[in-house]
Structure 1
Amino acid sequence: MKNILKISAAAAAMTLALSGCIKDATPTQIATEDQVTLETLVRGIPAALVMYNSTGYAQDGAAWDFSLPAIHLATESMTGDLVVTGNIGYDWFTQWGTNVSLGSDYAVGALTWDNYYTWIMMANNVIKQIDASDFSSLDATQRSYLGFAYTYRAMFYLDLVRLYEFKENTVTEAPELLGLGVPVVLPETTEAEAKNNPRAKVDDIYDKVIFPDLDNAEELLENYTAPDKYTISLALVYGLKARAWLERGTAKNDAESYRQAAEYARQAITASGCTPLTQEQWEDPTNGFNSATSNDAWIWGLALPSESVANLFCFTVHMSCENDWAPYHAGRGINRNLYYSIDSRDFRRHSWLDPDRSSYAYKSCRPDADTYFKESLADFANIKFRPAQGAYADYKVGGAADHCCMRVEEMYFIEAEATAQAGDLAGGIRLLNEFMTSYRMMNGATYDCTSKSGTLEGFINELMLQKRIEFWGEGIVMFDMKRLDMSSKRGYVGTNAPSSYRLNVEGRAPYWNFVIIRSETQNNPVIATQNNPDPSGLVEPWKG
């Protein structure tokens, strides 16, 4: 596999890490050259996750090339819940939003494939540096570094499997690919093996890589206390286990897997000590969804320091509608139908501008907010993601936003779904009711989904409605929609989606089965016979 030899991005990331890319990092006293190398490798991984030009296409002007935050924006654009509310000519994520140019010959495929395998290589390099045959022989620093590396690698393979596993849909067929994931590259994989490395079975990736890596990480980090939200913690390991067991439960229709998901979700809640965002934190015009330190909800996030911000190559420029420092406003808002499904007593509704701007006293970092919201932004535009520090006019400051990768609310949703899926529907209903009433309803209002949950299917539909609202824009929900074979719809009478984005699919969308890029099929030819069907253009926009 070409990517295990690709070191330029990794080296650049390490350079960024050592120049202070991790916020509030405490300098570690280094005794030997080997330790310097190991720390450099470890610190380079989170730096690589927010690096722009990570695939080399940014230098050609591709403003989607900024690593994991861009991947989250790409998957979010594919759900149907996100709508471009401004000039679509400035939407750098139009391929994912309109299902065009997603085949093996197009550059956008590098965003996921090249990045994830580069990051896996970096994790493998850490693992190679430490003798993992006997954990008891490791000192505290080695244990934490090795625990980090196993956590990262499990996370990356979990994402890759969820992106590339071919799942049945009503548009494309490939029965021979069912149950296949991605090629596995480990520290011992040779160059020759990488060039003849077929897609591994999904079950094998879970059983031989993802779960063992997370088990190792759990053991290694059992007594480790993360100093901040930018550092991997035991709670994150539990959260990843919850995600993985939820996937396994759905794939196998297995009650025990669901019980494991619920158990690990609860362990993540407990170990993290986190509490869901309050209304004040959610609506904070300065720190809303851009700061790991301004709330108690984030389990793990990534830091993007101001010295690393490039104008068009960061999450904020594409997602925040309040900033002035972008030379355009593609604008991103919520699907109109989804917006009107939000209870008026639910404060999350305030994340998007109501057609009646006087319906709520919207907060903003802008002094001209009243005029700006009415005259410059479209109905349903989002104000969920704020410019960092409220710096709407300075891209170096405003773009330096922390990026959330897991917050504790996700664990509450996993626990509720997994409990119901495991056979305790009443328990799942109770958990969702408690979460929504305690943490999302205003002025003492009560949420009760009992009447909508006469069946397990009805409950899952209601839970996913609330989860889609909760995690809009965060890169979480597409994985759930693919897992649960959910439909997506942006074409209907009264839609606020531009015409080319009005895609309607019954059941899972074919473009949720990502296509492997051509450079990989050329360097690893066996993959050429195992690639997912190109979905591009196979879903006609609704023209009603």
Structure 2
Amino acid sequence: MKTIQYFIAALSIGFVMTSCANDLNTVPDGDISGEQLNNDQSSPEKILGGIYLDLRSNGAGGTTLHSDFGIMAIKAGSDLMSNDVIQMKNQHLGMFYNYDATNASNSASEFVWTTFYARIFIINKLLGDLNKSGNTSNKAIKGQLLALRAYSYFYLIRFYANDYKGHQSEPGVPLVLTSNNQSQGLPRASISDVYKQIASDIEESIILLDSYARPTRAQIDQRTAKAIAAEVYLETGDYVKAGKYAEESKQGIALMTENDYTTTGFSNINNPEVLWGFHNTTSTMSIGNSYASFFSMFDNTNKGYAGAAGIYKLIDKRLYEAIPQTDYRKKVFNGAQSTAYTFNGETRNYPAYVSWKFKDPSFFEGDYIYIRASSLYYIQAEALARQGREAEARQVLYEITSKRNTAYTLSTQTGNGLINEIILQKRIELWGEGYDWFDMKRLNVPLERIYPGTNHTFGRFNLSPDKFKFQIPNKEINNNPQITQND
């Protein structure tokens, strides 16, 4: 995979950058050897810190585009491919909204691929060096590395292959697991084999991270690994494990208050629901370009691309209308008329259905939130419902929905009606957080943006779910003779 190798070399240079000491207590470093691991036990942590830092940085996918800023760019891009998130103008992340991103020649196909494979290469090298060193004191580092590899492959397989159910034997993505097979092109492993590896990595991670107390939410602990596992098993239809891990991960985590949800809770890693995220600072935001960031793109109240350039993010009219007036989550969206809105001492006029969910009072230094405990309620509820444990599913759904909407009563739905209610509440709760398109693909829900009164913009078209698949980037196709292209 010469393409991936090319990008990994370029990105390794970026590891010389300094991380915020308060976040990771590390200074991301260059490559390491087995001798260094024995002599300097901080070296693995330094490399691990570099991986975490790179996954939130401009250029994580090997480009200079302002749409390329790591995990948050990819989560945002995926939601722009759903029915629920709208972009006003065709700039920056617009390639996702109008589905140009799926083309092999599009930069988005390239940077999604490289963001994760570049990290996988580093992870494989570090895992190999840890194993060679024979030092068993680094099990927490190994656990985090395995969780990151599982997380990376989980994104890759959902972007570049069909969904799991009914397609297990079809081509997935190349399964690169050691530094020995990073120097040559590999064929695409089957979807089933990729998911088996994801499950193996995340299960081992959960064991290794037992009793690990992380210094910051920027690092993966056992609770976070279980949250990743819950989502993986929901995808593969192992509803017993999905429900089990969702319950264990969210246990003891307080839900956001109305004030958290409607003010600046989505730019603060100290939000009580945050399981995993990244605390941004002036130092971390200086890496690349501060305009190349999530809040520049999604905070319509700030002076970035969304707010100042008018590349607004809107909620789909149908979803907005499905939110009851008594549900405080409706407050983070404008209604059917343009209106003035004041935040951080500044008043602006906004179009209908605009989002005020992601508000950052700083200059793009808001924290990144990768996983919230809220997502686990919907995973557990769906997993229980699909096991036929509907009374338990309704209760889990009630626990979170009644917090958001005091008028909500325990559901009386059964069968598909209950599943649909769970998914609707999930769409409302996690709007803009990177879940809906993957659920549409998993549940075989078509893209339907043409309807009476639609408020969709330049991406106004309908698509069947078989179109929810990215082509392999041209650079990989050109440099790897063993790989095959998607239709």
Q: TM-score, normalised by structure 2?
A: 0.90
In structure 2, relative to structure 1, the CA distance for the partners of 1:167 and 1:237 (3 Å cut) is closer
Match of 2:459 among 492, 501, 508: 501
Deviation sequence 1:344-387 (CA, Å, 0-9, x none): 111110111123689xxx98533243xx1xxx211111110012
In structure 2, relative to structure 1, the CA distance for the partners of 1:521 and 1:339 (3 Å cut) is same
Q: Which residue of 2 aligns with 1:304?
A: 280
Q: Distance in 2 between matches of 1:217 and 1:147?
A: 4
Q: Distance in 2 between matches of 1:427 and 1:53?
A: 44
Q: Which residue of 2 aligns with 1:410?
A: 375
Conserved? CA contact 2:162–2:466, under 8 Å = no
Match of 1:40 among 29, 46, 54: 46
Conserved? CA contact 1:23–1:230, under 8 Å = no
Q: Which residue of 2 aligns with 1:288?
A: 265
Q: Distance in 2 between matches of 1:238 and 1:65?
A: 28
Q: Distance in 2 between matches of 1:509 and 1:306?
A: 42
Conserved? CA contact 1:167–1:178, under 8 Å = no
CA RMSD of aligned residues (A): 2.6
Q: Distance in 1 between matches of 2:453 and 2:100?
A: 24
Q: Which residue of 1 aligns with 2:31?
A: none
Would you say 1:159 and 2:155 are equivalent positions?
yes
In structure 2, relative to structure 1, the CA distance for the partners of 1:55 and 1:188 (3 Å cut) is closer
Q: Distance in 2 between matches of 1:31 and 1:162?
A: 35
Would you say 1:367 and 2:325 are equivalent positions?
no
Q: Which residue of 2 aligns with 1:181?
A: 172
Q: Distance in 2 between matches of 1:133 and 1:20?
A: 26
In structure 2, relative to structure 1, the CA distance for the partners of 1:311 and 1:42 (3 Å cut) is closer
Q: Which residue of 2 aligns with 1:381?
A: 354
Secondary structure of 1:182's counterpart equals strand
Q: TM-score, normalised by structure 1?
A: 0.81
Deviation, 1:33, is 5.1
**After superposition, where does 1:199-210 map in structure 2 within 5 Å?**
199-207=188-196, 209-210=197-198
AA aligned opposite 1:505: L
Q: Distance in 1 between matches of 2:153 and 2:182?
A: 20
Q: Distance in 1 between matches of 2:321 and 2:203?
A: 42
Q: Which residue of 2 aligns with 1:540?
A: none
Calculate percent identity across the aligned residue pairs. 26
Conserved? CA contact 1:50–1:304, under 8 Å = no
Deviation sequence 1:459-513 (CA, Å, 0-9, x none): 2222111111111111122111111111232222211111x3112235x251x21
In structure 2, relative to structure 1, the CA distance for the partners of 1:101 and 1:472 (3 Å cut) is closer
Q: Distance in 1 between matches of 2:14 and 2:83?
A: 33
Q: Distance in 2 between matches of 1:448 and 1:478?
A: 27
Deviation, 1:435, is 2.3
Q: Distance in 2 between matches of 1:226 and 1:191?
A: 30
Q: Which residue of 2 aligns with 1:440?
A: 404
Deviation, 1:5, is 5.4
Q: Distance in 2 between matches of 1:54 and 1:222?
A: 30
Conserved? CA contact 2:105–2:473, under 8 Å = yes
Deviation, 1:265, is 0.5
Deviation, 1:79, is 0.2
AA aligned opposite 1:185: V
Q: Which residue of 2 aligns with 1:14?
A: 15
**After superposition, where does 1:61-72 map in structure 2 within 5 Å?**
62-72=65-75
Would you say 1:93 and 2:71 are equivalent positions?
no
In structure 2, relative to structure 1, the CA distance for the partners of 1:11 and 1:461 (3 Å cut) is same
AA aligned opposite 1:495: T
Deviation sequence 1:137-183 (CA, Å, 0-9, x none): 612xx1111111111011111111122222499xxxxx999532110
Conserved? CA contact 1:166–1:178, under 8 Å = no
Unaligned runs of 5+ in 1: 170-174, 250-256, 392-397, 534-544
Unaligned runs of 5+ in 2: 28-35
Deviation sequence 1:320-357 (CA, Å, 0-9, x none): 01012545121101011110000111111011112368
Conserved? CA contact 1:165–1:178, under 8 Å = no
Conserved? CA contact 1:166–1:532, under 8 Å = no
Q: Which residue of 2 aligns with 1:536?
A: none
Q: Which residue of 2 aligns with 1:319?
A: 298
Deviation sequence 1:16-52 (CA, Å, 0-9, x none): 3xx2246433469x99754343222111111110111
AA aligned opposite 1:205: V
Number of residue-to-residue matches in the alignment: 473
In structure 2, relative to structure 1, the CA distance for the partners of 1:166 and 1:13 (3 Å cut) is same
**After superposition, where does 1:430-469 map in structure 2 within 5 Å?**
430-437=395-402, 439-442=403-406, 445-450=407-412, 453-454=413-414, 456-469=415-428
Q: Which residue of 2 aligns with 1:227?
A: 215
Q: Which residue of 2 aligns with 1:267?
A: 248
AA aligned opposite 1:460: I
Deviation sequence 1:59-103 (CA, Å, 0-9, x none): xxx321212111111101100211124xx14x2122211123632
Secondary structure of 1:35's counterpart equals coil
Q: Which residue of 1 aligns with 2:32?
A: none
AA aligned opposite 1:226: R
Deviation, 1:9, is 4.3
Match of 2:87 among 69, 84, 95: 84
Q: Which residue of 2 aligns with 1:478?
A: 437
Q: Which residue of 1 aligns with 2:61?
A: 55
Q: Which residue of 2 aligns with 1:516?
A: 472
